[in-house]
Amino acid sequence: MIRSAFWFMIWSSTAFACDVTGQRMNSEVQNAPEVYLSVDEIPLARPFSVLVSICSETAVGQMRVDATMPAHRHGMNYTPKVTALGGGAFRVDDMLFHMPGLWELQVYVDINGQSIFYSSEITLK
């Protein structure tokens, strides 16, 4: 059975023209480009994919994705596969959340030689 994922994030409009869908990821870096996360459903203990869209006028370098369960002190057992789609969009495959509970999805984006950290909290029931 597919489990539902509930997103505890603040919806926000984009700062400039960036034709993306999904929910905005959090960053503590001031004036950081907006990053949006799009995912249909997250099945428990089975692989899923997400789409990460980076709204930056500057070319985006590498992008890395990971996830942890802060309360359990562990992360994913697999390294996700990131594929650049162009235009600041990335498809991330082979994500797997093997336990229900609160996960923190983490994205590191290289822009202008700086690695910027973004996160989103996802509760998987």
Q: Does 85 bind other proteins (CB under 8 A)?
A: no
Question: Contacts with other proteins: how many residues (CB under 8 A)?
Answer: 22
Q: Which of 6, 8, 40, 45 binds other proteins (CB under 8 A)?
A: 45
Q: Does 47 bind other proteins (CB under 8 A)?
A: yes
Q: Which of 8, 57, 62, 94 binds other proteins (CB under 8 A)?
A: 94
Distance of closest approach, residue 7 Cβ to other proteins, in angstroms: 18
Q: Rounded to an integer, what distance in angstroms lies between the CA atom of residue 35 and that of residue 5?
A: 19
Pairing type for strands 81-86 and 101-111 reads unpaired
The b/e string for 93-115 (b: 16+ C-beta within 10 A; e otherwise) is eebbbeeeebbbbbbebebeeee
Q: Does 10 bind other proteins (CB under 8 A)?
A: no
SS3 call for 4: coil
The distance between the two most distant Cα atoms of the chain, rounded to a whole number of Å, is: 43
Confirm if 84 and 90 have CB atoms less than 8 A apart: yes
Beta bridge partners of 36: 24, 53
Site string for other proteins, 106-125 (x = CB under 8 A): -------------------x
Nearer to other proteins, 40 or 57 (CB): 40
- Write out the residues near other proteins by the rule CB under 8 A: 1, 3, 44-45, 47, 71-74, 76-81, 93-94, 98-101, 125
